[in-house]
Structure 1
Amino acid sequence: MLKNLRWTIVFLLFLVYMINYLDRVALSITVPMIEKDLTLNPEQFGIIFGSFFFGYAVFNFIGGLAVDKFGATLVMGLAVGLWSLFCGLTAFATGFYSMLILRVLFGMAEGPICSSANKMINGWFPKKQAATAVGFLSAGSPLGGAVAGPIVGYLAIAFGWRPAFLIIFTIGIIWMIAWFFIAANSPEKHKRVSQQELLLIQQMKKEEEAVEVIAEDNTAKSLGYYLKQPIILVTAFAFFCYNYILFFFLSWFPSYLVQQHHLDIKSMSLTTMIPWIVGFVGLALGGYISDKIFKITGRLLLSRKIVLVVCLLLAALCVGLAGTVSSVASAVLLMSVSIFFLYVTGAIYWAIIQDVVHKSRVGGTSGFIHLIGSISGIVGPIVTGYIVQSTGKFDSAFILAGTVAALGAILVLFVIKAPRATHTAAQA
């Protein structure tokens, strides 16, 4: 595999996105055990889930700036080492406040992940392959969520929830060592890249000059310039809506199955695999579908917009309905369809950045969009916890998640305007 280094790096990023979600979902899977052991209630857990995103959101942006300054290889490696450490320290939590502090630190360490991955793809891939590469590596997230249920569930049942977090810690450290051994910021800076692959990458990037360029020109602008552009602001809001459903699902769907449908931890762990697996397929396909539409239309922005609007609306509809059904099968089916369509859009937000932002500002712009998206991780879990604590039910929380996502799709539809193509994909 090392003979094709750019795809080896994508595979490593795919693995770290798996680890990232395994680590995040571990807390959701073990909630019933931790609630009993530490005497925490749903409202407190809503705050704990949301606290992750206080640190995460801030370091989305700070991490993006660090990536532009120090490079994706260093920032990603350090981030994985630190978040693995804080995840492992969860095993030593003694109550609400220690869990809260560890969750904030854990979120801070995870903050740079998307900016680092985006910067790495920008260094190794041309625009016409960027969405496919981002889609593939991002597909590690739902797959990590899928395996988290049975893995963490088994570890927690067999050894207890505290040893489960210590075992998870070692996985991230192993990945970090492999990353520092294999990765480099660009093919030109990699000591082991073959001359054949280096020339191929350079040739593909030269071909970009014949492809439609959405930005006004290819010169670097200030970060502030990009952050004021309507396309960046709308993409950021759409990513907020995307994350609202995602973090609602990640944080509360396991508890919903236990509380509303009375599943035990073993059954819940296996059941939550289903939406994650279909989400993995959706995320892997999303970037590929967008790149194919681009080849047909020759219009980068239009290809991104079609996928965003259609799939975000379908995800909104299904998650809203999921909370109104009475059976486990119907709820899991609707949630699975929602996560599938949601994840089809997953690579598109980052592909837009690759399309319109100069390479010197990819990290900072990615961090800004990730920051806005992560605010939903603060708002969503806390609001859901309040709703559940107040009403004893989840239906209003599901409907609210669908409404938020629908607003994002509508905004993309009416605000983002695709320019007329000046070149066709065939000319690329």
Structure 2
Amino acid sequence: MRPPSVNDLALRIADVGLPHALLVIAARAAIAAGDPDSAADEAHRLRRSLLGPAINATGVLLHTNLGRAPLGLEPGDDGPVRFSNLEFDLTSGRRGSRTSHASLLLATLTGAEAALVVNNCAAAVTLVLAALARDRGVAVSRGELVEIGGGFRVPEVMEQSGARLVEVGTTNRTRAGDYRAAVERDDIALLLKVHPSNYRITGFTEEADVADLAKIGPPVVSDLGSGLLDERCPWLGARPEWLAGEPGARQTLAAGAALVTFSGDKLMGGPQAGIICGNADLVAACAAHPLMRAFRPGSLVLDALQSVALAYLRRDADAIPFWRMAKVPVDELAQRAETLGVGQSARTTALAGAGSLPGQEIPSAGIELDGDHAAALRAFDPPVIARVNEQTTVIDLRTVDPADDAVVAAAVNQALGQ
């Protein structure tokens, strides 16, 4: 018996809701496997491989695999088509700068003279080094030669920028005098401090602070990574205990750093972006460098970043999903767990995630299920992503929007065969 034509089979599975071209791919795969009846299953698998919504029940607020900071954007807006003044000066009617909109707000939030936005923090550091230290030395503590996600290492980033790495101090102890000695014996363009946002060194340790480094001479660049804008957390009214010890961009600049770099999609709670804040002349040099063309973000990123920055200026933490989730009282989460009526309510511990605040736990609550039900929960539509500890499935409600509680309950009941 001859198999059906690819096009006929694709038309039969049109109710899956994919564009016809993708249904054709599914139909071809099913026919090639000798099982045309599996075309719908192939189409469903293809649909689930596309970018789409998921419920984060892991308790990791900034889950890198789930997109880090969630954005409060409304999909499927059926309103009128809108353009934007991305590179248009509304006053003069001439071409403007795409960096001016969010940059003004970020400079205001951090107390900087100027700010610049690129597409991620690695790009921010690379641009700073290329623009300000090419063919010259950059002094870095041996204890801060970190590797970030995806295998990118500070020495390799520095090499690609054209700057020359000058290691100072030791892995566990580096003093201001180590940087000063490097400046006296070498051509040092910058002193680079890298915040250990994804690891901790404890015990017999010492590091030079920004205020001491600022007295040595060359500009101090502090890569904060995690992106806490202000240690006082005025948008919350008080600093949470789990943020103890995390440096803020505003305070780091006030201490004497010429520039700070950080991510937009970590503790800032915005879209993926890299942010450079600090002295206007140094920011201008970065903006004028040819790499800026390659690193510049698109309008969607800048628009989302502007919305987040405006929320900070309004001190409206509820408008930023990361902070809205982070500040929910544990008792409120526990009450939601009881109301779900599935599994066993339990106190849990959440994490900031995305390489931020390593080892720092955030009190939380959720439900526990005996056994490993992670795969069954992922198979639900929309998928519910949980974590498994010693054959116990943990659904942490700190990272679940209350509007999704009913979905979580339905997913659990299906996973348990109820």
- Please state which structure has a larger fraction of its residues in helix: 1
- Report which structure shows greater RCO (CA 8 Å, sep ≥6): 1
Give yes or no for TM over 0.5. Answer: no
Task: Give the TM-score normalised by the residue count of structure 1.
Answer: 0.25
Larger radius of gyration: 2
